[in-house]
Each structure stands twice: as structure tokens, then as C-alpha cells.
């Protein structure tokens, strides 16, 4: 994953790389944006990061999978800190955008591992039940992986 903010218009609002990676790894959810024949398509998803790869699960058919298979170039946005500053008519925020290539995970082993990571992130106190749920539903669960090629980060904090 290459951290590159060259294309960020407001160079005074760049987010430090370590914080950008932290936001990506620890975010509660992200927005996956794709191109479809009907136009742009974005959807909020739960996800987990392993190395330079973002994993998310979904149904084994649907618009998201069709979009990824037709055009695997995607972007993924996660928002960290955010606060509306009403008296200043602005918003404090931290956000990152990961760009990369998405693929549908074919290997049962990689799919199980990704689902396990998702359970560990969102339900660590219920790991055993989560592993049982994975085994009950792995045959009807798809996993999408995004190989992150580029990460950018931006922030605005009131002084």
C-alpha cells in the first residue's frame, strides 16, 4: 500500500500516514464505491484490513458483485473523527480513501480466514460462536477483497 497525498488539493490538510493507516484499520465501517452500467454505486460495509488488503462479506449474488466483476477498480472511504462545528459553519474530520483492485475471493481457505478476521474485529467476545456461524454459512457467503494500491488521508481540525 502506497501512501500518497500528491493529488489532495488542500495540501495544508494532509493527514499523517500513521494516523491514516490507523483510521483505515480501526474504522467501524467504510463506503465502497464502484462503477456500474447504471452509473456510480456506493454502499456502506463492515470490513477488516489484513496487510494491504481490505476484506468484506456479502451475499453470493447482487449488484456489488456484478460491479466488482465487471470493473474491479474501486475506492473505499473511511471517516475517523468527525464533529459539526455549528458556530463556525464547518466540520472537523479525518478521512482516508483507499484505491485499489477488488476481486471476489474464490478460495474457501481465504474466505474462512477473512470471515474469521471480521468476527475478531466486530465480535471478539463471541469468537467461538462466530466460528460456528462461519461454518454454517460459508457456502452462502461471498467475500470481496480489495488489494489497496494507494491510500490518501485528509483532516480538518479547529484550532
Kindly list the structural domains of the chain, giving each domain's residue range(s) and its CATH number in brackets, ordered by start: 2-105+145-156 (2.30.110.10)
Name the CA radius of gyration of the chain, rounded: 17
- Model confidence pLDDT, tens digit, residues 103-147: 999 999 999 999 999 999 999 999 999 999 999 998 899 999 999
- Model confidence pLDDT, tens digit, residues 11-48: 666 678 899 999 999 999 999 999 988 889 999 999 99
Question: What is the reported pLDDT for 36?
Answer: 87
pTM > 0.75: yes or no: yes
Q: What is the DSSP letter of 116?
A: H
Grid coordinates given for 81: 473523527
Amino acid at each position: 500500500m502506497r501512501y500518497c497525498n500528491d493529488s489532495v488539493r488542500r495540501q495544508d490538510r494532509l493527514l499523517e500516514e500513521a494516523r491514516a493507516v490507523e483510521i483505515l484499520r480501526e474504522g467501524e465501517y467504510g463506503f465502497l464505491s464502484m462503477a456500474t452500467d447504471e452509473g456510480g454505486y456506493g454502499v456502506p460495509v463492515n470490513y477488516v484490513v489484513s496487510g494491504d488488503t481490505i476484506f468484506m462479506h456479502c451475499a453470493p449474488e447482487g449488484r456489488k458483485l456484478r460491479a466488482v466483476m465487471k470493473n474491479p477498480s474501486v475506492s473505499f472511504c473511511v471517516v475517523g473523527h468527525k464533529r459539526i462545528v455549528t458556530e463556525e459553519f464547518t466540520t472537523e474530520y479525518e478521512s482516508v480513501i483507499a484505491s485499489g483492485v477488488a476481486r471476489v475471493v474464490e478460495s474457501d481457505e481465504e474466505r474462512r480466514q477473512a470471515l474469521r478476521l471480521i468476527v475478531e474485529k466486530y465480535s471478539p467476545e463471541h469468537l467461538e460462536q462466530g466460528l460456528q456461524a462461519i461454518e454454517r454459512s460459508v457456502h452462502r457467503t461471498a467475500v470481496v477483497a480489495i488489494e489497496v494500491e494507494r491510500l490518501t488521508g485528509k483532516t480538518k481540525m479547529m484550532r
